[in-house]
């Protein structure tokens, strides 16, 4: 019941009529012609009880004695009596808290009126108190937070409307504007409804990127124009939704691994790993050989999910010392990256030396001088390093030597003078051994015959033979047998 300043009598009549105080109504009606003054005060709302509104006695030109003798008092139809007349001082003071917003809402100006009555003679004075707004309310948002889910491919210029704030104060004390906390992506656009109510929108000015910032927390601040200024805040929580805008990236462009040759199937080689900055299914990466026709798929396998590379075929150092695999990583959206895996094969001593005979002469004459070459052999070992380092020796304690002049070539020579008459045949075993761990060796036996030289004269078994013969022997009678030996052979014997 904002009374404002309607014609006085009407206001009073109505108000007191409500209370059915007929006697008073009549009384006031009678007195209505006697109004001698109408004063107006203007005070801010929310003044403390007892605060001075105005000096009524002075303003009405009445002295304090008259106030007392006339039993000056306030008459009002309001259920709440906001003011009190201090007859001892002639002042009007605040009796009850005056809340402009409660009294008038957003109607301006806001005032209430009442009458001061005096008797003997009767006088009636109307007093209107205008209540001016003080900035006693902050702008407030109904919600604590505003949530948005915005795709990271949202276009710039996209608008997102924000909750509006309410401020019951009026005029300059009312809602003035909105402020958005400093951020890279959004700017604030302020608008007014047809009814003058202010609201704001967030406009995307720089694209969002979930990978750098998956969540944004902003604050929308509503401020009024009062002094001191009051404000209200609401949090804006933005979840950036992922789009497959990132390709997988290998954590190494080249991976290196070593494997032993002859390593069994399922031997671990290495693990490749690519990460994808996207989220959820957009970040799932699978691995596969870039070139499925390279033939390396027979030797190695890459696990599609884990990137683990295992051996599936037989690795032979003697065939390939190094393999280069090209591996691609692909995400669900088809974006890819590629990398290289260089696999070095380590040699294993899996090949024994081989001995090939370049030349071999048999028999050898027994008068050959020491150092006579009997044969030339070549040794080979397919392994590398120590595994392929070959050394040759002769097995038994024989009068021969093996010498190397050229790498991997050996000559077999006599070490002493031979004597067919003592040893006519040799089985020479040559052992070729590599330096692997454990070493592997090969043996080869050469059968060497010693040929005769007439180096022995025949020798009689006795130097003197004596015999007795009886007389009268017939011719051809055997007297004695001479025996001579020659250790040489054939004609030489």
Ligand X SMILES: *[C@@H]1O[C@H](CO)[C@@H](O)[C@H](O)[C@H]1NC(C)=O
CB of 385 to ligand X, least distance (A): 36
Structure tokens at 137: 């309310």
- Measured from the CB atom, the residue of 281 and 427 that comes closer to ligand X is 427
CB of 370 to ligand X, least distance (A): 20
CB of 487 to ligand X, least distance (A): 18
Helix axes 8-18, 22-31, angle to 10 degrees: 170
Structure tokens at 294: 């390279």
- Measured from the CB atom, the residue of 239 and 427 that comes closer to ligand X is 427
**Spatial separation of the C-alpha atoms in residues 141 and 272, rounded to whole Å:** 53
CB of 447 to ligand X, least distance (A): 6
**Do the strands 441-451 and 364-365 form a parallel or antiparallel pair, or are they unpaired?**
parallel
CB of 423 to ligand X, least distance (A): 7
Find the residue with minimal CB distance to ligand X.
427
User: What's the Cα-to-Cα distance from 87 to each of 53, 97, 475, rounded to whole Å?
Assistant: 14, 21, 206
CB atoms within 10 A of CB 418: 26
- Measured from the CB atom, the residue of 147 and 427 that comes closer to ligand X is 427
- Measured from the CB atom, the residue of 341 and 430 that comes closer to ligand X is 430
CB atoms within 10 A of CB 177: 14
**Spatial separation of the C-alpha atoms in residues 485 and 488, rounded to whole Å:** 9
**Spatial separation of the C-alpha atoms in residues 447 and 402, rounded to whole Å:** 15
- Measured from the CB atom, the residue of 36 and 427 that comes closer to ligand X is 427
**Spatial separation of the C-alpha atoms in residues 263 and 212, rounded to whole Å:** 45
CB of 424 to ligand X, least distance (A): 8
Residue 418 phi/psi, 5-degree rounding, is: -90, 160
CB of 443 to ligand X, least distance (A): 13
**Spatial separation of the C-alpha atoms in residues 108 and 104, rounded to whole Å:** 7
Size of the chain, expressed as the number of residues it contains: 493
Structure tokens at 278: 């996207």
Closest by CA position to 122, among listed 24, 30, 233, 193: 30
- Measured from the CB atom, the residue of 333 and 363 that comes closer to ligand X is 363
- Measured from the CB atom, the residue of 56 and 450 that comes closer to ligand X is 450
- Measured from the CB atom, the residue of 131 and 448 that comes closer to ligand X is 448
- Measured from the CB atom, the residue of 447 and 473 that comes closer to ligand X is 447
CB of 433 to ligand X, least distance (A): 22
**Do the strands 159-161 and 186-192 form a parallel or antiparallel pair, or are they unpaired?**
unpaired
- Measured from the CB atom, the residue of 447 and 461 that comes closer to ligand X is 447
CB of 462 to ligand X, least distance (A): 33
Helix, strand, coil tally for the chain in percent (to 5): 10, 40, 45
Angle at 411 between CA 409 and CA 416, to 5 degrees: 160
CB of 400 to ligand X, least distance (A): 13
CB of 426 to ligand X, least distance (A): 6
**Spatial separation of the C-alpha atoms in residues 137 and 169, rounded to whole Å:** 6
**Spatial separation of the C-alpha atoms in residues 299 and 264, rounded to whole Å:** 11
- Measured from the CB atom, the residue of 81 and 447 that comes closer to ligand X is 447
Residue 169 phi/psi, 5-degree rounding, is: -65, 160
The β-bridge partners of 102 are none
**Spatial separation of the C-alpha atoms in residues 417 and 113, rounded to whole Å:** 153
CB half-sphere exposure, 406, CA atoms < 13 A: 7
Task: Read off the DSSP letter of residue 260.
Answer: E
**Spatial separation of the C-alpha atoms in residues 59 and 134, rounded to whole Å:** 25
CB of 354 to ligand X, least distance (A): 21
Contact residues for ligand X, defined by CB under 6 A: 425, 427, 447
**Spatial separation of the C-alpha atoms in residues 107 and 102, rounded to whole Å:** 11
- Measured from the CB atom, the residue of 38 and 444 that comes closer to ligand X is 444
252 three-state secondary structure? coil
- Measured from the CB atom, the residue of 422 and 491 that comes closer to ligand X is 422
CB of 391 to ligand X, least distance (A): 24
CB–CB of 259/267 below 8 Å? yes
């Amino acid at each position: 019941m904002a009374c404002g300043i309607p014609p006085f009598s009407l206001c009073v009549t109505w108000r007191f009529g409500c209370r059915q105080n007929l006697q008073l109504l009549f009384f006031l009606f009678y007195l209505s012609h006697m109004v001698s003054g109408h004063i107006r005060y203007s005070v801010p709302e929310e003044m403390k009880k007892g605060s001075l509104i105005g000096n009524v006695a002075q303003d009405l030109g009445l002295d304090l004695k008259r106030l007392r003798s006339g039993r000056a008092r306030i008459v009002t139809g309001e259920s709440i009596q906001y003011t009190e007349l201090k007859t001892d001082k002639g002042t009007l003071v605040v009796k009850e808290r005056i809340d402009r917003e409660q009294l008038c809402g957003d109607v301006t100006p806001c005032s209430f009126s009442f009458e001061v009555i005096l008797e003997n003679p009767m006088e009636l004075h109307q007093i209107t108190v205008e209540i001016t707004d003080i900035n006693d309310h902050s702008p407030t948002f109904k919600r604590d937070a505003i949530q948005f889910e915005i795709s990271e491919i949202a276009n710039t210029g996209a608008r997102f409307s924000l909750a509006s704030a309410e401020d019951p104060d009026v005029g300059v004390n009312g809602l003035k504007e909105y402020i958005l906390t400093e951020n890279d992506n959004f700017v604030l656009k302020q608008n007014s409804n047809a009814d003058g109510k202010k609201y704001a929108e967030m406009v995307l000015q720089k694209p969002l990127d979930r990978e750098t910032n998956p969540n944004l927390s902003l604050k929308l601040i509503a401020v009024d124009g009062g002094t001191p200024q009051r404000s209200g805040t609401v949090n804006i929580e933005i979840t950036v939704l992922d789009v497959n805008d990132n390709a997988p990236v290998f954590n190494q462009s080249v991976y290196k691994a070593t494997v032993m040759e002859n390593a069994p199937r399922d031997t671990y080689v290495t693990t490749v790993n690519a990460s994808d900055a996207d989220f959820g299914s957009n970040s799932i990466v699978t691995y596969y050989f870039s070139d499925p026709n390279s033939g390396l798929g027979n030797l190695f396998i890459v696990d599609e999910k884990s990137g683990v590379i295992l051996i599936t075929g037989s690795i032979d150092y003697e065939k390939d010392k190094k393999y280069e695999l090209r591996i691609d990583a692909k995400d669900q959206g088809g974006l890819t990256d590629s990398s290289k895996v260089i696999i070095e094969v380590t040699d294993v001593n899996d090949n024994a030396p081989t001995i090939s005979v370049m030349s071999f002469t048999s028999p050898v004459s027994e008068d050959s001088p020491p150092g006579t070459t009997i044969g030339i052999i070549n040794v080979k070992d397919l392994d590398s390093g120590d595994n392929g380092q070959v050394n040759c020796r002769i097995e038994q304690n024989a009068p021969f030597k093996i010498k190397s002049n050229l790498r991997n070539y050996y000559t077999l020579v006599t070490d002493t003078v031979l004597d067919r008459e003592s040893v006519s045949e040799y089985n020479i075993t040559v052992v070729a051994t590599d330096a692997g761990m454990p070493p592997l060796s090969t043996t080869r036996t050469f059968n060497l015959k010693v040929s005769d030289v007439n180096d022995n004269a025949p020798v009689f078994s006795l130097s003197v033979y004596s015999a007795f013969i009886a007389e009268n022997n017939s011719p051809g009678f055997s007297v004695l047998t001479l025996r001579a030996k020659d250790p040489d052979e054939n004609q030489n014997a």
